Structure 1
Amino acid sequence: MTDIDKAPARLNRFADLSFQPRFAYPEMADVVEVAGLADRSELSGGFARFRDADIPWQVQYDELILVISGKFAVETPQGRLDAGPIDTIWLPAGTRVRYLAASALVFYSLQPASWVNAATAA
C-alpha cells in the first residue's frame, strides 16, 4: 500500500466526535476512532472515556495510551501502572491487562489497526 492509497489528511475536532459504547463494557467505556482502517492505515487511534471501569482484556496489538484527564491504571502480570494527565502507558501485543479508572479520558494509538480481522482469522 502506498501513501497515495490512503485517505487524505484531515482535522478531527474533539467537539464534533461521536463517542460510542465500547462493545463489551458499554457502562464503563465509550470510544471514538479518529484514524484507522477506514483511512486504509495500519495505525489506529482515538479517544476513550472511562467511568467506574474495571475491564479485563488481552491486548491484541501494540498500544500506546496517553492520559488526558483523570487517573488511569493498567494492571499487567508485571504489576500496576498508574498514570495521570500527560503520562503514557506502553502495552505490547499479547499483554493480559485490566483497565481501571474512576473517571478518565485517554487517547490511544494501536498497531495493527486490522487486529480484529487477524484475531478472527486465527
Structure 2
Amino acid sequence: MTSTTGRTPVYVVDHRDLEFIHRGGPPGSASVVRALSDDISPNLGVGFGKWEGAEVSWTVLYDEVIFVFEGCFTLKANGQAYEVHPGQLLWIPENTVLEYSGHATFGYVVYPGDWKRRNSL
C-alpha cells in the first residue's frame, strides 16, 4: 500500500504479501525477501527473513540490523552465539564473518541498501 504524504510516497509492506527466496537448507530452510527495491530505497535495504533450522554462513558486506517478530534467531560471530527473541534486535557491523541459524521470523535493515551494486555482485 502506498500513500503520498508529501514529495515522496510512504509504503506499508506486509511480509505475508511477498514472495520469499530460498537461501539455505536442508537441513532446515532459510528464506528472505527484499521489501523495497533499490529504486525506492538505494540507501537502506529493508526486508524479511524466515529461518526454520537452517544454518547459513556469510560475511556481511554492509551494516545490518535484525529485529525478531517470532521465535528465536541465533547468530554466531567472533566466537560467540547471540540469541535474539521477539522485541529484541541485533546490530552487525560490516565485514563480520558469521553464521545465521534458529527458528524465527524477522525483519532486517542493511546499509548501504545497494550493497550488491557497490560490490559488483
Contact persistence 2:66–2:90 (CA under 8 A): yes
Task: Count how many residue pairs are aligned between Structure 1 and Structure 2.
Answer: 114
2:117 match: 117
For residue 58 of structure 2, give the secondary structure of its aligned residue in structure 1: strand
After superposing the two structures, state which structure 1 stretch, 12-21 or 37-46, moved more.
Answer: 12-21
1:36/1:43 contact within 8 Å kept: no
- Would you say 1:19 and 2:46 are equivalent positions? no
Does the Cα contact within 8 Å between 2:15 and 2:48 map onto a contact in 1? no
Distance 1:42 1:108 in 2: 14
**Deviation string for 1:27-61 (max 9, x for gaps)?**
52111111241314310111100111111100110
Residues 79 and 68 of structure 1, relative CA distance in 2, 3 Å threshold: same
Aligned 1:1-122 pairs, distance under 5 A: 8-22=9-23, 25=24, 27=26, 28-101=29-102, 103-120=103-120
- Percent identical: 27
Distance 1:15 1:89 in 2: 23
